[in-house]
Amino acid sequence: MRVFDRNWMQIAEGLESDDRIVLPIGSTEQHGFLSLGTDAILAERVSIEAAEPLGIPVLPVLPFGVAPYFSQYPGSMTLRISTYFEVIRDLLDCLAGEGFGRIAVINGHGGNTPVSGLIREWLAQPRQDRVQVLFHDWWNAPKTAAVASTFDKDQFHAGWVESFPWTRVENAEPPTVARPVIPRRVVNMLTPVQIKELAPDGNMGGAYQRPDEDMRQIWDAGVAEVRDLLENGWVSR
């Protein structure tokens, strides 16, 4: 249930019986032949599909994240990690102040993962009502990652593992020949200029695309895993 499809009074009415809400977070950054909004699109969509049967409201995705390493690819955006932390802190403060006691942050971008540490710090602060916050990297969760690995263990940024029908763009046909996967340890040591030189089209390695029926299996696993988290991931109070 998207909050944009409701007014505030309807959200307040639902809050009287269910204090859960979902905050998807993503990024706007190069994804090779795929949409610049891939991480944001996937985080929001998996959240909406997972939460819909449960009647849990889903906030609009936060479309900007931490991605300084892609600054040489036009259209890619990044926030300083200090700025990003404060944005997340402000959003959590708003939700807790409104009475949401169970907040699920569904992440679609690896660069945002340090937020999990901020959340632990935020939860440690004394407040009148107890609040629970879950942080979930949806694409890297155990069951979802296991399904993806059954098709191909060579998977990295902007490759087949992120190529869903809803992340592809018109007039952008990817190559049919896979690229060698660039070791993550190498990428983590490179400057933005070096990354652009090593991956001129943005694909960090592996096949560019797989059949839609394979991607549907991965997607269904991701939705199911997020839904299970929303139903059963909380601590009893």
The percent of residues in the chain predicted with pLDDT above 70, rounded, is 99
**In which band, very low, low, confident or very high, does the pLDDT at 11 lie, cut at 50, 70 and 90?**
very high
In a domain, 85, yes or no: yes
- What does the pLDDT read at residue 107? 98
Count of the separate structural domains present in the chain = 1
CATH number of the domain enclosing 128: 3.40.50.10310
Contact 84, 30 (CB under 8 A): no
- What does the pLDDT read at residue 129? 79
- What does the pLDDT read at residue 127? 81
In a domain, 226, yes or no: yes
Contact 105, 26 (CB under 8 A): no
- Domain extent, residue 136, equals 3-232
Exposure string of 175-214, with b = 16+ CB inside 10 Å and e = fewer, is eeebbebbeeeebeeeebeebbeebeebbbbbbbbbeeeb
pLDDT higher than threshold 80 for residue 237: no
Alpha-helical segments (H) within the chain: 8-15, 38-51, 81-98, 115-123, 142-151, 184-187, 192-198, 212-232
- What does the pLDDT read at residue 126? 86
Mean pLDDT of the chain: 96
> Mean pLDDT across the stretch 177-206?
93
In a domain, 237, yes or no: no
Alpha-helical segments (H) within 99-172: 115-123, 142-151
As a whole number of Å, the CA-based R_g of the chain is 18
Question: pTM of the full predicted structure?
Answer: 0.96
Q: Which of 17-21, 33-37, 61-65, 182-186 has the lowest mean pLDDT?
A: 182-186
